[in-house]
Amino acid sequence: MNLNLRLALMLSVPPLLWAANAVVGRMAIGHISPLWLNASRWALALALLLPLGWRMFASARRRAEIWARWPHLVLLGLLGVGAYNALQYMALRTSTPLNVTLIAASLPVWMLAIGALFYGERPRRAQLVGAALSLLGVAVVLARGVPAALLRVQFVPGDLMMLGAIFCWCVYSWQLARPPASMRGTARPDWHWSEFLCLQISIGLLWATASAGLGEWIEPRPAPVVWTPWLVAALAYVAIGPSLVAYRLWGLGVAAAGPAVAAFFGNLTPLFAALLSAALLGEWPRPFHGLAFALIVAGIVVSSQQPRAQPGSAKAAG
């Protein structure tokens, strides 16, 4: 796989949009609960996408195709739409956008592990070294720059929720790249990308709405939604940028580069989050954040190194 400029840009835009999603989400949860923020986001995204994707539900043939593949589709909707973003928004209650996105830098480790365990995808040495550097960057931010603090580090609830979100996203990405036989080759339905995304959002929205309703029922005194022009603008952004645009580009990038390579581009998210947090929230990075950034960038550089051709091989001879 050759990482050209077009593919690199395609994989760089989603981290920027997701970093802004973390910052906007942190600001929005003072006006709306995290679970209802997630459900509202996807309801609006579905409404915007329906003019393109409505044909998915318009014929008996399409409905039969969906029913024949429902386990895979339900899993995609649950992990990629229903669970991942809800866990991230809930994490922002007790963690900062910068910390949440830095913890998400462990994504390559999980992506490589899931690929090796369940998909027979053996990681290259450069990918393992890059993943280790990324994980070291996560350790730096968890320890707040004091190595000895790792022995007594305590996860806040938001950190643990973000780790759960990362696991959901890894499985979702591998399901996109290595779908079941019914979604490959000649067996794959001739769905337009907008129809496929519309279907994922529809299923995920069911999960998201059910979770929001259950959360409101469990919480003794749920806080009311405070509708303001700013909240409407925030919902519009998270429905368009991190939802429709980012998911489309991520799907294309994962299909072209593979989940393991795409995961390292996800590590750009904390870099963008730091800049946006400083500009919008006044949460300026501290020195240990700089060290974590350096380790994450090093992980991207190392993991992108291609294996050298062996002497006498076709590449070397050419």
How much is the pLDDT for 311? 46
Query: In which band, very low, low, confident or very high, does the pLDDT at 151 lie, cut at 50, 70 and 90?
Result: low
Between the two ends of the chain, the Cα-to-Cα distance in Å is 18
- Tell me: pLDDT of 68 over 70: yes
* Gyration radius of the chain over CA positions: 20
Q: Is residue 32 part of a domain?
A: yes
- Among the ranges 34-43, 209-218, 306-315, which has the highest mean pLDDT value? 34-43
**311, part of any domain:** no
**Distance between CA 284 and CA 109 in Å, rounded?**
27
Q: What is the pLDDT of residue 264?
A: 72
* Residue 300: inside a domain: yes
Q: How far apart are CA 173 and CA 193, in angstroms?
A: 16
Residues whose CB falls within 8 Å of the CB of residue 82, separated by 6 or more in sequence, listed in order: 38, 203, 204, 205, 206, 207, 208, 211
Q: Is residue 317 part of a domain?
A: no
- Determine the pLDDT at residue 231: 92
Q: How many CB atoms lie within 10 A of CB 61?
A: 9
Characterize 82-94 residue by residue with b for buried, 16 or more Cβ atoms within 10 angstroms of its Cβ, and e for exposed.
Answer: bbbbbbbbbbbbe
How many domains does the chain divide into?
1
Give the predicted TM-score (pTM) of the model.
0.77
| pLDDT at residue 148, as a whole number | 67
**Amino acid 222: pLDDT:** 62
**pLDDT band at 6; cut points 50, 70, 90:** confident
Q: Is residue 312 domain-resident?
A: no
In our burial notation (b when 16+ CB lie closer than 10 A, e otherwise), range 106-142 reads bbbbbbbebbeeeeebebeeebebbbbbbbbbbbbbb
For the chain, what is the mean pLDDT?
Answer: 81
Residue 141 has pLDDT above 50, yes or no: yes
> Contact, 97 vs 281, CB < 8 A?
yes
- According to the model, what pLDDT value does residue 235 have? 93
pLDDT at 310 over 50: no
| 146 in a structural domain | yes
Confidence of residue 42 (pLDDT cuts 50, 70, 90): very high
pLDDT in tens, 285-300: 677 777 777 777 777 6
**Is the pLDDT score of 247 beyond 90?**
no
Calculate mean pLDDT across residues 163-181: 89
Query: 284: pLDDT confidence band, cut at 50, 70 and 90?
Result: low
Residue predicted with more confidence, 317 or 2 = 2
Nearest to 130 by CA among 241, 37, 315, 262: 262
Flag whether 314 is in a domain: no
Share of the chain above pLDDT 90, in %: 20
Give pLDDT tens digits for 79-105.
988 898 889 888 888 887 767 777 777
What confidence score (pLDDT) does residue 220 get? 57
Answer with the residue of higher pLDDT: 254 or 14. Answer: 14
The residue among 197, 176, 183, 240 whose CA lies nearest residue 53 is: 197
- 43 token code pair: 């309801």
What does the pLDDT read at residue 317? Answer: 36
214-246 pLDDT, tens digit each: 777 766 566 778 889 999 999 999 999 998 999
Residue 138 lies in a domain: yes
Per-residue model confidence (pLDDT) at position 303: 67
Provide the domain limits for residue 94.
5-305
Phi/psi zone of residue 121: left (φ > 0), alpha (ψ -120 to 50 degrees), beta?
beta
CB 302 within 8 A of CB 126: yes
Phi, psi of 282 (to 5 degrees): 70, 20
Q: Are 32 and 216 in contact (CB under 8 A)?
A: no
